[in-house]
Amino acid sequence: MRTPHRRRGAIGASAFAGLLCATLLVAPASSAVPADVPTDVPAADAPTRADHTTPYKNPRLSTEKRVDDLLARMTLAEKVGQMAQAERVDVVDDPGQIAELGLGSVLSGGGSVPDGNTPEAWADTVDAFQEQALSTRLGIPLLYGVDSVHGHNNLHGATVFPHNIGLGATRDPKLAERIGHITAEETRATGPQWTFAPCICVAREDRWGRTYESFGEDPKLATKMSQMIEGFQGRQGQLDDPDRVLATAKHFAGDGFTVFGTGEGDYTVDQGITQTSRAEFEKLALSPYIAAVKKHDVGSVMPSFSSVDWTDDGLGNPVKMHANKELVTGWLKEKRDFDGLVISDWRAIHQIPGTYAEQVAASVNAGVDMFMEPFSGDPVGYPQFIETLTSAVEDGAVPTARIDDAVSRILTAKFELGLFEKPFTDRRNIDEIGSEAHRRVAREAVAKSQVLLKNSHRTLPLSGGDDVYVAGSKADSIGDQAGGWTISWQGNSTHQIPGDTILDGISAAARGEVTHSPDASAPVPAGAHGVVVVGEHPYAEGFGDVGGPQWGYDPGETELRPPLTMQISEEDTAAIETVCAAAATCTVLVVSGRPMIVPPDLLGQIDALVACWLPGSEGRGVADVLFGKRAFTGKLPVTWPRSVDQEPINVGDADYDPLYAFGHGLRTRR
């Protein structure tokens, strides 16, 4: 998923919509439209009332019967419209497109927020779009999606949890389920009923800029933590509750171990090629989806941008996942009986070889059901998708049965979410967003995610009565500790969100004097314990790859910055050396989305080393273990290498010689 960019050079959406509707929304002569289909436009609130005379509007009937009835009433144009998803930016100035094109869905990409970015503004925006959907001939409600990947992270004021790599360190699936439930409650209270989470990929290459979106390098760990799905969706029959959302297992499949250097440029691992045998792919990439589908009944699946190249075939013919019928239809839908919907990633079909018509047909025929086709600065978007797919069906390139299957899956999700009865935002939980109760769970998650890598002379936990000297670039930066996918797509060091920095937590926990000097230029008081907080700047996909074009990228920025390296910066290294030479003890906290390289000479100066990951809004959770309020219990979800040259390095490798092994984590007592 990406951030939206306002389109440039696109054709006028309203003009195109009017033309398209005039040609497509008229049922073909051969269409068998039931006699009781209304020809007038229903009132916006009509779908909120039970209608026992029209089967698809009758909540007493089974979902299957309602879907069958509604599908039989739909024209080809109405069906294809349900398969198209636009971005908020594309329709906010002309929401009539939703009705004119019969769009099935709208999303907010990373950083795509309404003016003010308040819960009420979100709900008002979603409801305004919903009014347009309900004004259509059949009144099919809109499905609204958002990337709530560590809380409702686009929304200012939401509870921001640790990213998945930190949750993997907790080894606590029940905690992940609780986090999923809170995230669902905060998300649905603002309108969206669908989250593009969780990522159950298995990160086997830490140079990948999405490593922190993974629970870890072991497929068993990813499978275990996929219980978060039940937090999002609830148990069977709970999806229409006001505190649940449709979940998405992503990215199907193999995005966590694409080969370094197989993407755009010689550095990229994002959107690259997974070169592996079928057996290894089944074990490492596909196995978490078995639990997601069979055990947790996930409602949707998102394919990966990446390709797979079967090495045991020896053909050297990588196939994009969005066009991989063998896996999407064959393995997922047929072999694993997945009955949810498959949603494409952000404009991902444009990476399939061929013309746009060939790309659309290949992906639909492969088994993708709904298409995320924002304009994003390109002249081709959701209107062209609708036109192209309609022609493909009329020309026989895409079977009508494939369209019916896709639309049935989309409608099923909408019925199970209760949108036909209650299409507008249920705001009863809006005051719970960012509540103390929710932040307590986030703080617990932060504490449980901390991994104590080194603890010479029992340096930790610190005594609350001692003086503490705090240094390092990340000690007082809530934007850095929240990471990417926070407020904006890539995140930003300057972002301010409600919560506590690590420095705030230390200041609250310590009873002695706390001195803060980011660059360690202030004198270290005699006898003070040193804490140096270092790490990475925020990033997300693409720009987070080691060697990538820049770090901290934000659509509003123009400054090009140094590429990421997994190395501790020179400034932070200098701060560590200064503090370790002068303080009574020297503790280093690493705030990052993956392991960072700690050279042997630097490691020798450090008394205690902690992997903090990306803790989110609750920096006090770090202080809880630092000062012994909670014990250190976290374990490494990925292998910690000695050098970047060791990448990729994973448990079970031949000649496995990391700095800290997968599963390593020292414990302390409270």
pLDDT of residue 549: 63
pLDDT of residue 625: 98
**pLDDT tens digits, one per residue of 409-468:** 999 999 999 999 999 999 999 999 999 999 999 999 999 999 999 999 999 999 988 999
pLDDT of residue 114: 97
Top pLDDT among 237 and 142 is at 142
Asked if residue 445 lies in contact with residue 165, where contact means CB atoms within 8 angstroms, the answer is: no
Taken in order of first residue, the domains within the chain and their CATH numbers are 61-430 (3.20.20.300), 450-646 (3.40.50.1700)
Give residue 2's pLDDT band: very low, low, confident or very high (50, 70, 90): low
**pLDDT tens digits, one per residue of 594-650:** 999 999 999 999 999 999 999 999 999 999 999 999 999 999 999 999 999 999 999
User: Which positions are annotated as active-site residues?
Assistant: 345, 541
Asked if residue 364 lies in contact with residue 402, where contact means CB atoms within 8 angstroms, the answer is: yes
pLDDT of residue 28: 35
Q: Quick check: 43 pLDDT over 50?
A: no
Q: Quick check: 291 pLDDT over 80?
A: yes
Give residue 65's pLDDT band: very low, low, confident or very high (50, 70, 90): very high
3-state secondary structure of 129: helix
Give residue 4's pLDDT band: very low, low, confident or very high (50, 70, 90): very low
**Which segment of 255-259, 387-391, 554-558, 617-621 scores lowest on mean pLDDT?**
554-558
Q: What is the mean pLDDT of residues 7-11?
A: 34
User: In which order are the strands placed within the sheet that holds 84-87?
Assistant: 194-195, 143-146, 105-108, 84-87, 371-372
Q: From 153, 144, 104, select the one nearest 126 (Cα to Cα).
A: 144
pLDDT of residue 559: 54
Q: What is the mean pLDDT of residues 82-92?
A: 98
pLDDT of residue 52: 76
Across the chain, what does the average pLDDT equal? Answer: 91
pLDDT of residue 26: 35
Q: Quick check: 479 pLDDT over 80?
A: yes
Q: What is the mean pLDDT of residues 386-393?
A: 98
Provide the token pair at 186.
Answer: 């905060």
Q: Quick check: 531 pLDDT over 80?
A: yes
**Which segment of 45-49, 528-532, 643-647 scores lowest on mean pLDDT?**
45-49
Q: What is the mean pLDDT of residues 320-335?
A: 98
Q: Quick check: 50 pLDDT over 90?
A: no
Q: What is the mean pLDDT of residues 49-73?
A: 92
Handedness of CA 114, 116, 117, 121 (dihedral sign): negative
Contacts of 579 (CB under 8 A, 6+ apart): 469, 471, 520, 524, 530, 532, 586
**pLDDT tens digits, one per residue of 177-215:** 999 999 999 999 999 999 999 999 999 999 999 999 999
Top pLDDT among 620 and 542 is at 620
Give residue 261's pLDDT band: very low, low, confident or very high (50, 70, 90): low
Q: pTM score, two decimals?
A: 0.91
Give residue 560's pLDDT band: very low, low, confident or very high (50, 70, 90): low
**329-357 b/e (C-beta count within 10 Å ≥ 16 → b):** bebbbeebebebbbbbbbbbbebbeeeeb
State the Cα–Cα distance between residues 49 and 47, nearest whole angstrom. 5
State the Cα–Cα distance between residues 385 and 397, nearest whole angstrom. 14
Q: What is the mean pLDDT of residues 340-346?
A: 98
pLDDT of residue 268: 55
First vs last C-alpha separation in the chain? 41
**Which segment of 53-62, 523-532, 538-547, 580-589 scores lowest on mean pLDDT?**
538-547
Top pLDDT among 38 and 248 is at 248
Residue 241 DSSP label = S
3-state secondary structure of 290: helix
State the Cα–Cα distance between residues 195 and 471, nearest whole angstrom. 37
The pLDDT > 90 percentage for the chain reads 83
